[in-house]
Amino acid sequence: MKLHALPKTTSPRKRVGRGTASGHGKTAGRGTKGQKSRAGHHMLPARFEGGQMPLTQRLPKLRGFKNHGQKTAAVPVSRLAGLSGTVDLAKLKEAKLAPRTARSLKVFGAGTVSKVSLKANAVTKSAEAAIKKAGGSVTIIAKPDPSAKAGSATSNGKPGDAR
C-alpha cells in the first residue's frame, strides 16, 4: 500500500479575508452587517425570535406536576391474562407490556386473569382480589430509592472523597 497514493479525506482549510480575488475576501463569507458578522459574536438561544415575544412566553403556563424521577409502569390486571408463573417488572418488560424505562410496577383494576404469582411495588385492592380469586398470589416489594445513584460508594456522599 502506498500512503502517498491514497485519496485525500480532508479538504484544505478555507483562508478567508485574503482579497477579492480569493472569492472569500471583503466580508469573508459573513455577509454584511448584523450580529453574526461582528467579531466575538455569540449565537443566541434557539428560542430567540428577534425581539418578538417568544413562543414560550406567549403560551399559558402548564399546571400540575409530573415526577420525572420515578418511572412507574401502571399495568391493568387484564394484561396479565396471557402470562403464567411468576410475573414481575422484568417479565413484563420482556413481554413489552411495560415501558423499558420503568423502575417500579403498579397493577390496578379488576378483570379476568390466569393463575400468576405477582411481584409488584403496588397493587390495588380490586387487582389483588382478582388475582387471588384465580388462585394466584401477590407479593409487595419495596420501591427503588430514587435518590440512590448507582456506583456511589463514598463515605460521606461527596464524590472523590472516599478514603
3-state secondary structure of 28: coil
User: CB 116: neighbour CB atoms within 10 A?
Assistant: 21
pLDDT for 144 equals 67
What is the pLDDT of the chain when averaged over all its residues? Answer: 84
CB 139 within 8 A of CB 160: no
Is pTM beyond 0.75? Reply is: no
Show the cell assigned to 9.
Answer: 479525506
pLDDT for 108 equals 92
Mean pLDDT of 27-39: 89
Most confidently modeled range among 65-69, 98-102, 123-127, 150-154: 123-127
E strands, 49-103, in order: 72-76, 85-87
Residues in the chain: 163
Cα 81 to the center of its chain, rounded Å: 30
pLDDT for 84 equals 81
Mean pLDDT of 80-85: 86
The CATH number of domain 72-140, selected from 3.40.50.300, 2.40.320.10, 3.100.10.10, 3.40.50.2300: 3.100.10.10
Beta-bridged to residue 116, according to DSSP, are: 85
Statement: residue 157 has pLDDT above 80: no
CB 113 within 8 A of CB 81: yes
Asked which of 97-101, 129-133, 141-145 is least confident by mean pLDDT, the reply is 141-145
CB 116 within 8 A of CB 92: no
Look at residues 90, 150, 97 and name the one whose alpha carbon lies nearest to residue 121.
Answer: 90
